[in-house]
């Protein structure tokens, strides 16, 4: 039975930087539909980044996203009654989604500061190849490398 064609939702760029990636990032931070609060957090973090690093926050953001994006991940595949962790290459949209998720989770896991400060710290750390998001990326790569023997099961 044929179904209708699925159209991808078009995200409008954010009003300050006119960037779609930042708009996606804001949407990931947003909880319970409170986009204005999510924007305050992200733009507040960008102000802190500008103050601390004396660099353009957009550069730091792009570098952090690039550094936190994984190249490989493992997916479970059942073959002959056994589950194997098969390493696969991560495609474009998923790379950005994972990097965004890890940066936000890294910021949320820190305690005792406002979210804007925690997010700024995590973005700066990710741009310097340190921090929780980079650790998560390296763990993912390590898992993929350890299971490289099962790469021939990739579909």
Helix (H, G, I), strand (E, B) or coil at 93: helix
User: Which whole number is the average pLDDT over 13-21?
Assistant: 93
% of the chain residues with pLDDT over 70: 100
* Helix (H) or strand (E) segment spanning residue 50: helix 35-53
Q: How far is CA 93 from the centre of its chain?
A: 10
User: How far is the C-alpha of 127 from the C-alpha of 65, rounded, in Å?
Assistant: 8
Asked if residue 130 is part of any domain, the answer here is yes
Task: Say which range, 16-20, 65-69, 149-153, has the weakest mean pLDDT.
Answer: 149-153
Asked if residue 147 is part of any domain, the answer here is yes
Asked if residue 1 is part of any domain, the answer here is no
pTM of the model: 0.90
Asked if residue 118 is part of any domain, the answer here is yes
User: How far is the C-alpha of 50 from the C-alpha of 58, rounded, in Å?
Assistant: 9
Structurally, the chain folds into a number of domains equal to 1
Residues in Cβ contact with 155 at an 8 Å cutoff, skipping those fewer than 6 apart: 77, 86
User: How far is the C-alpha of 76 from the C-alpha of 84, rounded, in Å?
Assistant: 6
Q: Is the pLDDT of residue 121 over 80?
A: yes
pLDDT for the residue 150: 87
pLDDT for the residue 1: 72
Residues in Cβ contact with 123 at an 8 Å cutoff, skipping those fewer than 6 apart: 45, 49, 60, 61, 64, 103
User: How far is the C-alpha of 144 from the C-alpha of 75, rounded, in Å?
Assistant: 9
Helix (H, G, I), strand (E, B) or coil at 59: helix
Model confidence pLDDT, tens digit, residues 99-119: 999 999 999 999 999 999 999
Asked if residue 68 is part of any domain, the answer here is yes
Asked if residue 126 is part of any domain, the answer here is yes
User: How far is the C-alpha of 93 from the C-alpha of 86, rounded, in Å?
Assistant: 20
Asked if residue 13 is part of any domain, the answer here is no
Assign residue 107 the CATH number of its domain: 1.10.455.10
Asked if residue 2 is part of any domain, the answer here is no
Report the candidate in 44, 134, 61 with the shortest Cα–Cα distance to residue 98.
134
User: Which whole number is the average pLDDT over 23-33?
Assistant: 94
Give the residue numbers spanning the domain of 111: 20-74+84-153
User: Which whole number is the average pLDDT over 145-150?
Assistant: 91
Q: Is the pLDDT of residue 155 over 80?
A: no
pLDDT classification of 3: cutoffs 50, 70, 90: confident
The per-residue pLDDT of the chain, averaged, comes to 94
Model confidence pLDDT, tens digit, residues 36-89: 999 999 999 999 999 999 999 999 999 999 999 999 999 999 989 999 999 999
């Amino acid at each position: 039975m044929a179904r209708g064609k699925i159209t991808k939702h078009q995200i409008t760029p954010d009003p300050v930087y006119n960037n779609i990636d930042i708009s996606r990032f804001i949407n990931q931070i947003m909880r319970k539909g409170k986009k204005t609060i999510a924007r305050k957090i992200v733009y507040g973090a960008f102000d802190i980044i500008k103050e601390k690093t004396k660099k353009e926050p957009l550069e730091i953001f792009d570098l952090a996203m690039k550094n936190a994006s994984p190249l490989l991940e493992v997916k479970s595949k059942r073959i002959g009654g056994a589950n194997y962790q098969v390493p696969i290459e991560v495609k474009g949209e998923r790379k950005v989604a994972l990097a965004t998720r890890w940066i936000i989770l890294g910021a949320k896991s820190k305690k005792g500061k406002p979210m804007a400060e925690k997010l700024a710290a995590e973005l700066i750390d990710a741009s310097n190849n340190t921090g929780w998001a980079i650790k998560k990326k390296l763990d993912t790569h390590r898992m993929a490398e350890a299971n490289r023997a099962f790469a021939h099961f990739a579909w």
